[in-house]
Amino acid sequence: MDEKTKEHFVNKHAAQPIRVLVTGAAGQIAYSLLFSIAKGDVFGKDQPIVLLLLDISPMLPVLDGVVMELQDCALPLLKEVVSTDKEEVAFNNLDVAILVGSMPRRDGMERKDLLKANVAIFKSQGGALDKFAKKTVKVLVVGNPANTNCLIAAKSAPSIPKENFSCLTRLDHNRACSQVAIRCSVPATHVKNVIIWGNHSSTQYPDVHHCKVNMAGSDLPCFEAVKDDAWLKGDFIATVQQRGAAVIKARKLSSAMSAAKAICDHLRDIWSGTPEGEFISMGVYSTGNCYGVPEDLVYSFPVQIKDKSWKIVDGLAINDFSKSRMDASAAELIEERDMALSTLAV
């Protein structure tokens, strides 16, 4: 093969860039996230990327600075960066949409007012996905209330399969893994198959009944490894549920570095699949689940992923302790959904 033919062959078979959108792109989560995506930590070391960065008009000058920094990183996989405040530009022909931007809760704001503001945002962005993105687009909702925002976006994009939408509970999952690992004095990678059930809120249920901890080369059930049932059924659950609030209290800012890492983990697993025999947690469409969770919610389940498609892990034994907590989180999500849908109908 001569050099010209070889060059043609390489160019023809080089990976095509994927188009990845991050909303709320001038914010602190995005600032911790964009470098990891652009250098290949998420979609692979051979996958070129076009980054689309969306934020509200007043944040465009800040976004210009973010673009400058991405350019200054001189990353070989980053083919183009587009910053915009226009949905028709940001959502055009997307492969991946990471919806980080949302209305934060302000002092004195009622929950229904927060939901109403976010319904408007995610109805609009769902409509933009429907109109402009590829029908194969993978959508990850991060902005809170993430589960209900994800549901609204999915309902507002009827031409895109509901299976393409998920919301982030991987941060809660990682927090649970880390707490168990610290307790057992092992690396976090030695803890697998924790589950976050339900809402990304303080009603979430971190469940370790199916968790395994690798200690001295053997996989032990979590309760056997920890040897403290009271902690696992009490302070452990409360710590994971309240961790976001604890970070805000300490930092005076919400979790950004850990949220960005969780986003990377979530999307890498969608792109590359989960290891055999392991499952992770993500908020997905509940219809057809085998755990008695009401239909038409985005609810966090244990999932396994293959060929970019998730499947809820079926047949896990659920005791009464777990069921009552799963039900409580579902009840909160039903209330959120109904409140959101009532504002959607107005």
User: Which residues are catalytic, by number?
Assistant: 200
- Vertex 135, ends 90 and 346: CA angle to 5°? 70
Question: What does the buried/exposed string (b/e) look like for 253-289 if buried means 16 or more CB atoms within 10 Å of the residue's CB?
Answer: ebbbebbbbbbbbbbbbbbeebeeeebbbbbbbbeeb
Q: Name, in order, each residue with C-beta under 8 angstroms of 318's C-beta and a sequence gap of 6 or more.
A: 291, 326
- In order of 99, 194, 200, 210, the CA distances from 205 in angstroms are 24, 10, 9, 13
By three-state DSSP, how is residue 299 classified?
strand
Nearest to 155 by CA among 135, 133, 130, 134: 130
**Per-residue tokens: 258:** 């850990």
Chain centroid to CA 269: how far? Answer: 11
